[in-house]
Structure 1
Amino acid sequence: MANRLGNATSPYLLQHKDNPVDWWEWSAEAFAAARERDVPVLISVGYAACHWCHVMAHESFEDDDIARAMNDGFVSIKVDREERPDVDAVYMTATQAMTGQGGWPMTVFATPDGDPFFCGTYFPKAHFGRLLESVREAWRDKRDEVVAQGAKVVEAIGGAQLVGGPTAPISAELLAAAVGNLLKDRDKTYGGFGGAPKFPPHMGMLFLLRHHQRTENAEALEVVRETAERMGRGGIYDQLAGGFARYSVDARWTVPHFEKMLYDNALLLRAYTQLWRLTGDPFAKRIADETTAFLLRDLGTRDGGLASALDADAAGVEGLTYAWTPAQLAEVLGDEDGAWAADLFGVTERGTFEHGSSVLVLARDIDAAEPSLVARWHRVREKLLGARASRPQPARDDKVVASWNGLAITALAEHGVLTGNEQSRAAAIGLAEVLATRHLVDGRLRRVSRDGVAGEPVGVLEDYGCVAEAFLAVHQLTADGRWLESAKALLDVALAHFGTGDGGFYDTADDAERLVTRPADPTDNATPSGFSSICAALVGYTALSGETSYREAADAALEKVAPLIGGHPRFAGYSAAVAEAALSGPYEIALVSEKDDHGELAAAAYRHAPAGAVIVAGEPDRPGVPLLADRPLLGGLPTAYVCRGFVCERPVTDAGELVAQLGSKDA
């Protein structure tokens, strides 16, 4: 036997290729080997940027004695949860059902048929060694009980999936109740929701911004503004290079868990961009601009995609790249600037992190300071960033995940069109080309690619939803009918192969690999669920195409998730945001001119468009662009058409009149 991960495409699996463990990749052959040897399966699930995954690897999987016990008593399978979210979803549900909590690394003991019978997360070396022996003894001496336990777990997790269940219509009352329930968890002191550990509530922020725009609810906007400021000034945000970490270990947003994930930064880019659109707050725009720069600079891959994540660790030490002491600041900046920077960034002798070091926060309001101080701030940042580059740097997981790149495309398209940032616009289009040419194989999506080559894992529902929504964003950006057609093709696959038959969706296709259960989870967690992302694309596609059958599918799905939206909005943020767009209309805004010069009309439309509106600008009757069909110019001038449910206001050529139409609740 031997470790079989040397030819894996996943950076996470490759991190384990030199372990003395006889690892298998997830495969039918691995389970067949377990049946042939008559041993249980040990499934270890994690991802490349996971700190505690690294800890367990160093403590246990690199240890010869632990590896010997694993090799003698088990068939051990290593799974990258980002490549196989379907496998992760099934066994995470089992882990949560058995332990009341979940996380990574996830450690699952299963029968050779894949039925889980004992689950957990991180185990220290001594505990893990004893656990291996206990499970091996149970398999030998109490086989019937173990198999029966596995069958019960499979039955339980199958019943935990939301396929049937109660439904409710999407209504203003439902969304008001969702806002009320969300605000009950508001942290009025430090922003965000709940206590430590505190995750960036990006999808909830998008929901609240859309709700505010539809209803003028002032508290909804204030919660987003306060949360955005607290996060953007906190240690969860990289004050030197931009970009957000995965979460804060404390309630104050001071000390992050240092990995930076593509999906968090894409969703937060949308939230900060939309906050700036609604308020004009220069702080929000700065964070959006810097997050864009981080995405394109630090996550851009040589083959044109965006990498998945930066690791939490550098040289095996968490936060080594990012933390500072006052002496280190003075060494780089000199005593005077060093003391000034220590005050500005909250760096103290006692420290806020480990070993007397501090994570940089923005302890003073520098954005509105006099120009000389702002210039000093920028100069200090550049010097510190240059010095930081000489430190050990976090590893990068450079696989390209379809759904997460889809989230980034939508965010970059919005940022580009709203701020006029041409780099964002170009990046959105370029990334869409990567997904269309590399990840679409014979009409079906592949989940990941690396070094320009698509991997074997097939796309799950979130890939179809996020990529379809991204293609719709690029269609609006370019007025190119190709992207609308491509989005339709993805939605047709989703409806045909992922539908439950009663308005809902499974996470995996009907012709995908069969697991012990077929996951169907509508909850939004770190990323939008496949359920909510496909609803978003269905709503947007209908508004852009006029094909109402897709809206009917979206409405049926939203009715299924409505009880979750109303009762547990923290776990349905993206669904709630989609519901806001659906309830608003969404508005359909067409801007026509002879030379694609829409001037003040375009600026007014993008700045004042109601929640979730679709906007396309181009010459009249451009082929493949239904929203521009039969839209003549008035007097040869650029002309705007504002519609809702395909019923249109009179066309206008004046920006002020357009703003008035967009502000009308009866448009």
Structure 2
Amino acid sequence: MSRETSPYLLQHAQNPVDWYPWGPEALERARLEDKPILISIGYSSCHWCHVMAHESFENERIAALMNELFVCIKVDREERPDLDHIYMTAVQMLSGHGGWPLTMFLTPTGEPFFGGTYFPPVDRHGMPAFPRVLQGVAQAYREKRDQVRDSVAQLRTGLARSEEPPAEAALAPELAVTAARALARHYDADHGGIGGAPKFPNTMAFSLFLRAWRATGEDRFRQMTVDTLHYMAAGGIYDQLGGGFHRYSVDARWLVPHFEKMLYDNALLVRLALEVQQATGGDAEARRVVEETLAYVTREMTHSDGGFYAAQDADTEGVEGKYFVWTRDEVMAALGSDAGEVVCRFYDVTDEGNFEGKNILHRTVDLPQLARLFTRPVEEVAAVVEDGRRRLLDLRAQRVPPGRDDKILTSWNALMIGAFAEAAKVLDRDDYRIVAERALAFVWNRLRHDGRLLRTFKGGESKLDAYLDDYAFLLNAALDVYEASFDPAHVAQARELADALLARFEDRERGGFFFTSADHEELVHRPKPSFDGSIPSGNAAAAMGLLRLYHFVGDPRFLEAAERTLRCFSGAMQANPFGFAHMIAAADLYQRKPREVVVVARPDDPQRRVLFTRLHREYVPDKIVVAADPTAPPSFPIVEGKMQIDGRATVYVCHSYTCSPPATTWDEIAPLLVTRAR
């Protein structure tokens, strides 16, 4: 284990458990000794993973039992999402629920037969003690092989059936609107979000709401999205001092988070906030969220050469949330009585606290309300709050920080690259474009070998085969960066990734894409996941990226593969809109067709930038923006034949295989971007 690069695996290198990483050595030992395998799957920022490690894996007596009865394998789910997906699905079939730490028992050939999640060291709260589980499983493997074989057979059958989508169905007209209406029935009108506690951001669902608003003009969809973003931004799920979102809220009010910060959550929430910024014509709270979150990522989550780190822990010195919470006395001592009173009221800091006697900072008043409470001008209290925020952030930086998982994952980096690229466009920020370009170059140069992507980079070493998510998310990110930079090399990158998807991941028989490539190591099951989780499904991202790329390059192979994917999951997405929100967004792109916007102007023409800035400010889902230099050969088929008018920057808007006349003023362009459902 000490030779591994995963921070999570290295956390366990000194355990008395004889851990192996997943690989031939462990599997061969299990086969030769005819021992069952105990596989423990988690991730570095997982609070309950740390709890089980402290209670059981650091316990000499329990570790001795594990070593005696099992070959023990430790897996970082973020490095090996294929194993995590297979065995998590198995444990959900066994117990009806899942989560991490994931504790699974396998035959020497890797077939699951029993498992669970967290087990305490002693019988507790109706859960059996881990030592009792270990002894029972080992005894069953020795003495009840028939039952073990039956369990294996049932789970293998279940794994195969778990990803069989419902029968294909014709895509219903207005599918995105119908899905949004179904999801809206579960909206929490009191606090925003979908459903009750625990509450996750569900960014894909709210992005779908904005599509429905754009298609129908029903403002409730937009308002639900705006309100939810505002509730989250005011809550404890958002880091009020440093920016960025924690993973989820344990309550319905967004107050008490699980304190880990994940790269992917922050990427997706930045994208949603940018859509809110566009849909509202400049929501100040949405812009604040974007700028503060990207500042946090740049400050704390960025490698010196440009890639992005994976996560920050929930725990500091073994205490969840310790880094982020405050007492009233601490705030008053740091800021003094006058400013301290203002800041404590703004962030609802009290003597009693709201979390184990301390305070998770959150906002229950806005700045105008705060000004009225203290009978001072808004500008004055705003300056006091901002100065106090910065001083508390500086003071917090002197605390022992939460652990950082500094591995760099291709798929999660792709999501954040896309977020920076989109922010560069919507907010007209060249600094964000530069960050996106550097990160894309990092992934392309460090996490790609002989034309194949790799999954993870840490400590100068890149390794492990990349998965569907890595290819699909990076395809979309490359197109995002093109639209921020207009460097056609990024479309070439997207095309290379799309070719790899079709060659090595596609299920040509039934449509869609497998999670692992055709030449990946053989496992007990080859997953083909389709549901959105905390991140969009790889199949949805592949369909979206292939459709987008088709409209750039005109290669029918990409359109046909996307069509096969949408057909494969057509029944599933209509039966379960919550689990297929991003796939439904891809279907919406397919049904409505994108607005293909071509701007013909010399690169040094100031009006070109003016037009791009105005175009990017508009909420037009699935618009594709292309730059054409009138002095250069056409870069894409869509550019061919499009000329400048009187030497002026000229715009063409094409939709559903028909192009508008050339336009040179915004009054001419704006109506061409609007579609409403009939």
Q: Tell me if TM exceeds 0.5.
A: yes
Alignment partner of 1:446: what SS? strand
In the superposition, relative to structure 1, how do residues 363 and 507 fare at CA in structure 2: closer, same or farther (>3 Å)? Answer: same
Structure 1 residue 268: Cα displacement:
0.3
Which residue of structure 1 lines up, in the alignment, with residue 466 of structure 2? 459
In the aligned structure 2, how far is the partner of 1:265 from the partner of 1:78?
Answer: 27
The whole-number CA distance in structure 2 between the counterparts of 1:367 and 1:340 is 13
Q: Which amino acid aligns with 1:616?
A: V
Q: Structure 1 residues 609, 639: closer, same or farther in 2, change over 3 A?
A: farther
1:604 has 2:606 as partner: no
Secondary structure at 1:601's aligned position in 2?
helix
Matched with 2:150 is 148
AA aligned opposite 1:653: T
Decide which of 571, 584, 593 is 2:592's aligned counterpart.
584
**Pairing 1:538–2:552 present:** no
CA offsets per residue over residues 158-201 of structure 1, 9 Å max, x none?
21113x54123334332222112211111111100011110111
1:395 maps onto 2:414 in alignment: no
SS in structure 1 of the partner of residue 190 of structure 2: coil
Aligned equivalents of 1:149 and 1:57: distance in 2? 28
**Of residues 19, 27, 51 in structure 2, which corresponds to 1:31?**
27
Confirm whether residue 386 of structure 1 aligns to residue 394 of structure 2.
yes
1:367–1:300: structure 2 CA closer, same or farther, 3 Å change rule? farther
Q: 1:435 aligns with which of 443, 446, 469?
A: 443
Are 1:241 and 1:290, in contact at CA under 8 Å, matched by a contact in 2?
yes
Using the TM superposition, give the Cα deviation of residue 609 of structure 1 relative to its aligned residue in structure 2, in angstroms: 5.5
**Greater alpha carbon shift after TM alignment, 74-83 vs 386-395:** 386-395
Paired residue total: 660
1:527 matched to 2:535? The reply is yes
Identify the range of structure 1 (534-543 vs 175-184) with the bigger mean alpha-carbon deviation.
Answer: 175-184
C-alpha distance in structure 2 between counterparts of 1:596 and 1:540, whole Å: 27
Would you say the 8 A contact 2:175–2:588 is kept in 1?
A: no
- Match for residue 68 of structure 2 among 69, 72, 76: 72
Q: Retained in 2: the 8 A contact 1:619–1:628?
A: no
Give the distance between the partners of 2:269 and 2:560, measured in 1 at CA. 30
Query: Does residue 408 in structure 1 map to residue 419 in structure 2?
Result: no
Give per-residue Cα distances to partners, 1:440-462, cap 9 Å, x unaligned: 2111110111134212x111111
Distance 1:666 1:265 in 2: 32
Match of residue 498 from structure 1: 505
Structure 1 residue 371 corresponds to structure 2 residue 379: yes
Q: Distance in 2 between matches of 1:58 and 1:596?
A: 62
Residues of 1 paired with 2:677 and 2:550: CA distance? Answer: 20
Q: Using the alignment, how far apart are the partners of 2:600 and 2:275 within structure 1?
A: 24
Matches within 5 A, 1:545-584: 545-584=553-592
1:596 Cα deviation from its structure 2 partner: 4.8
Q: Which letter maps to 1:284?
A: A
1:121 to 117, 128, 145: 117
| Offset, 1:618 | 4.2
Tell me, what secondary structure is at the counterpart of 2:652? strand
Residue 44 of structure 1: how far off its partner (Å):
0.3
Q: Give the partner amino acid of 1:504.
A: G
Which of 86, 92, 97 is 1:96 aligned to? 92
Following the alignment from structure 2 to structure 1, what is the Cα–Cα distance between the partners of residues 368 and 579?
Answer: 33
Contact 1:313 1:320 in 2 (8 A): yes
- Of 526, 539, 560, 1:518 maps to 526
1:107 to 103, 111, 119: 103
**Which of 623, 637, 649 is equivalent to 1:613?**
623
Distance 1:414 1:596, change over 3 A: farther
- Equivalent in the alignment of 2:659: 648
Give me the whole-angstrom Cα distance separating, in 2, the residues matched to 1:173 and 1:526.
25
Task: Please list the CA deviations of residues 22-46 of structure 1 after superposition, one character each: whole Å capped at 9, or x if unmatched.
Answer: 1000012211101111110000000
1:666 is displaced (CA, Å) by 10
Q: Which stretch of the first structure deviates more once superposed, 257-266 or 642-651?
A: 642-651
Gaps of 5+ in 2: 123-128, 372-377
Counterparts of 2:548 and 2:131, CA distance in 1? 52
Residues 167 and 571, structure 2, Cα contact 8 Å, conserved in 1: yes
Match of 1:58 in 2: 54
Contact 1:608–1:659 (Cα < 8 Å) also in 2: no
Q: Distance in 1 between matches of 2:111 and 2:506?
A: 25
CA distance in 2 between counterparts of 1:478 and 1:337 reads 44
**8 Å Cα contact 2:207/2:272 also seen in 1:** yes
Q: What does residue 344 of structure 1 align with?
A: 346
Correspondence 1:303 to 2:314: no
**Which letter does structure 1 place at the counterpart of 2:218?**
N
Range 604-613 or range 198-207, more displaced: 604-613
Q: Tell me which moved more, 126-135 or 368-377.
A: 368-377
- Hey, what does 2:191 align to over in structure 1? 190
- Supply the AA of the counterpart residue of 2:38: L
State the Cα RMSD in Å: 1.7
CA deviation vs aligned residue, 1:226-252 (integer Å, no higher than 9, x gap): 110100000000000000000001000
Matches within 5 A, 1:460-475: 460-475=467-482
Deviation at 1:632, TM superposition (A): 1.4
Name the structure 1 match of 2:326. 324
TM-superposition CA deviations, 1:410-431 (whole Å, max 9, x none): 1111110110122211111111
Q: Hey, what's the Cα distance between the residues in 2 that align with 1:420 and 1:175?
A: 29
SS of equivalent to 1:226:
helix
How far apart are residue 347 of structure 1 and its match?
A: 1.6
Contact 1:546 1:646 survives alignment (8 Å): no
- 2:16 and 2:634 map into 1 onto residues whose CA distance is 59
Distance across 2 between alignment mates of 1:222 and 1:452: 46
Contact 2:95 2:116 in 1 (8 A): yes
Alignment partner of 1:47 is 2:61: no
Partner deviation per Cα, 1:351-375 (whole Å, 9 max, x = no partner): 2111x11100012112896211111
Structure 1 residues 666 and 644, CA, compared in 2 at 3 Å: closer, same or farther?
farther
Q: What are the Cα deviations for residues 120-157 of structure 1, in whole angstroms up to 9, with x where unaligned?
A: 00111121111111111112221221122122211211
Name the CA shift for 1:664/1:55 in 2 (closer, same or farther; >3 Å). closer
| Cα 1:659–1:552 shift into 2, 3 Å | same
The one of 65, 71, 80 equivalent to 1:84 is 80
Q: State the SS of the aligned residue for 2:672.
A: helix
Q: Which moved more, 1:604-613 or 1:519-528?
A: 604-613
The letter of the residue matching 2:270 is L
Give the whole-Å Cα distance in 2 for the aligned partners of 1:171 and 1:435: 38
Q: Which amino acid aligns with 1:47?
A: Y
Say whether the 8 Å CA contact 1:175–1:565 is kept in structure 2. no
For residues 161 and 429 of structure 1, the distance between their equivalents in structure 2, rounded to whole angstroms, comes to 36
Output the amino acid matched with 1:479: F
Match of 1:638 among 649, 656, 674: 649
Give the conservation status (yes or no) of the 8 Å contact 1:303–1:451.
no
Indicate the percent of aligned positions where both proteins have the same amino acid.
40
Q: CA contact under 8 A between 1:43 and 1:110: conserved in structure 2?
A: yes
Asked if the contact 1:351/1:357 (under 8 Å) is kept, the reply is yes
Paired AA for residue 567 in structure 2: E
CA distance in 2, matches of 1:270, 1:346: 28
1:474-493 aligned within 5 A: 474-493=481-500
**Within-5 A mapping of 1:149-164:** 149-162=151-164
Task: Assess if the C-alpha contact under 8 Å between 1:182 and 1:570 holds in 2.
Answer: yes
Task: Say if 2:19 and 2:73, in contact at 8 Å, map to a contact too.
Answer: yes
- Give 1:567's aligned amino acid: A
Shift of 1:536: 1.2
Q: Is the 8 A contact 1:214 1:610 kept in 2?
A: no
Which secondary structure state, in structure 2, belongs to the residue aligned with residue 83 of structure 1?
Answer: coil
Aligned to 2:335: 333
Query: Does the 8 A contact of 1:175 with 1:566 survive in 2?
Result: no
